[in-house]
Amino acid sequence: MSTFKAPKGTYDLIPPFSAQYLAVREAISAPLRKAGYGYVETPGFEDVELFARGVGESTDIVTKEMFTLTTKGGANLALRPEGTASVLRAALEANLHKAGGLPVKLWYSGSYYRYERPQKGRYRHFSQVGAEAIGAEDPALDAELIILADQAYRSLGLRNFRILLNSLGDKECRPVYREALQGFLRGLDLDEETLRRAEINPLRVLDDKRPDVQKQLVDAPLLRDHLCEACKAYHEEVRSLITAAGVAFEDDLKLVRGLDYYTRTTFEFVHDGLGSQSAVGGGGRYDGLSEMIGGPALPSVGWALGVDRTVLALEAEGVELDIPPVTEVYAVPLGDEAKRVLFGIVTQLRTADIAADFSYGGKGMKAAMKGANRSGARLALIAGDRDLADGVVQLKDMESGEQTAVALEGLVETVRAKLA
Q: Do residue 287 and residue 369 come from a single domain?
A: no
Give the type of residue at 268.
E
Orientation of helix 229-244 relative to helix 139-155, angle to 10°: 30
Beta pairing partners, 192: none
pLDDT for the residue numbered 59: 65
Q: Do residue 362 and residue 298 come from a single domain?
A: no
Q: Determine, yes or no, domain membership for 163.
A: yes
Q: Do residue 312 and residue 333 come from a single domain?
A: no
pLDDT for the residue numbered 245: 98
List pLDDT tens digits, range 111-140: 999 987 777 767 899 999 999 999 999 999
Q: Do residue 396 and residue 249 come from a single domain?
A: no
Q: What is the DSSP letter of 122?
A: B
**CA–CA gap between residue 333 and residue 63 (Å, rounded):** 60
Q: Determine, yes or no, domain membership for 254.
A: yes
Q: Do residue 116 and residue 258 come from a single domain?
A: yes
Q: Which domain holds residue 334?
A: 329-419
Q: Do residue 63 and residue 29 come from a single domain?
A: yes
Low-confidence ranges of the chain (pLDDT < 50): none
Q: Determine, yes or no, domain membership for 3.
A: no
Backbone angle region of 240, left / alpha / beta, with phi > 0 → left and psi within -120 to 50 → alpha: alpha
The beta strand positions in 233-384, using DSSP E, are 250-251, 263-271, 279-285, 300-306, 329-334, 356-358, 379-384
pTM, whole model, 2 decimals? Answer: 0.90
Backbone angles phi, psi at 215, to 5 degrees: -60, -40
CATH number at residue 276: 3.30.930.10
Q: Do residue 244 and residue 382 come from a single domain?
A: no
Give the type of residue at 248.
A
Q: Do residue 298 and residue 384 come from a single domain?
A: no
Q: Do residue 399 and residue 272 come from a single domain?
A: no
Q: Within a 13 Å sphere around the CA of 38, how many CA atoms are in the beta-carbon half?
A: 8
Closest CA to 257 of 165, 325, 331, 171: 165
**CA–CA gap between residue 208 and residue 203 (Å, rounded):** 9
Q: Determine, yes or no, domain membership for 204.
A: no
**CA–CA gap between residue 248 and residue 160 (Å, rounded):** 12
DSSP-based three-state secondary structure for 413: helix
Closest CA to 267 of 116, 147, 126: 147
> With contact defined as beta carbons under 8 Å apart, do 309 and 280 qualify?
yes
Q: Determine, yes or no, domain membership for 217.
A: no
> With contact defined as beta carbons under 8 Å apart, do 133 and 97 qualify?
no
pLDDT for the residue numbered 228: 92
> With contact defined as beta carbons under 8 Å apart, do 174 and 211 qualify?
no
Q: Do residue 343 and residue 292 come from a single domain?
A: no
DSSP-based three-state secondary structure for 91: helix
> With contact defined as beta carbons under 8 Å apart, do 142 and 280 qualify?
no
Count of positions (residues) in the chain: 420
Give the type of residue at 162.
R
Number of domains in the chain: 2
- Give Cβ neighbours of residue 110 (< 8 Å, ≥ 6 apart): 41, 42, 44, 80, 83, 127, 128
Neighbours of 17 (CB within 10 A): 11
pLDDT for the residue numbered 311: 95
pLDDT for the residue numbered 7: 92
CATH number at residue 348: 3.40.50.800
pLDDT for the residue numbered 343: 97
Of 293, 317, 341, the residue at which a domain comes to its end is 317
DSSP-based three-state secondary structure for 347: helix
List pLDDT tens digits, range 320-369: 999 988 999 999 999 999 999 999 999 999 999 999 999 999 999 999 99
The beta strand positions in 52-160, using DSSP E, are 68-70, 76-79, 104-113, 125-134
Q: Do residue 356 and residue 277 come from a single domain?
A: no
First to last CA, the chain: 42
Of 317, 348, 380, the residue at which a domain comes to its end is 317
Q: Do residue 121 and residue 265 come from a single domain?
A: yes
Angle among Cα 382, 337, 399 to the nearest 5 degrees reads: 5
> With contact defined as beta carbons under 8 Å apart, do 115 and 67 qualify?
yes
Q: Determine, yes or no, domain membership for 143.
A: yes
Beta pairing partners, 167: 265
Burial code (b: 16+ CB inside 10 Å, e: under 16) for 234-258 equals bbeebbebbeeeebebeebebbbbe
Closest CA to 380 of 346, 341, 336, 340: 346
> With contact defined as beta carbons under 8 Å apart, do 251 and 166 qualify?
yes
Neighbours of 323 (CB within 10 A): 11
Q: Determine, yes or no, domain membership for 218.
A: no
Q: Determine, yes or no, domain membership for 189.
A: no
Of 287, 317, 347, the residue at which a domain comes to its end is 317
pLDDT for the residue numbered 273: 84
> With contact defined as beta carbons under 8 Å apart, do 16 and 326 qualify?
yes
Closest CA to 231 of 262, 187, 275: 262
> With contact defined as beta carbons under 8 Å apart, do 356 and 344 qualify?
no
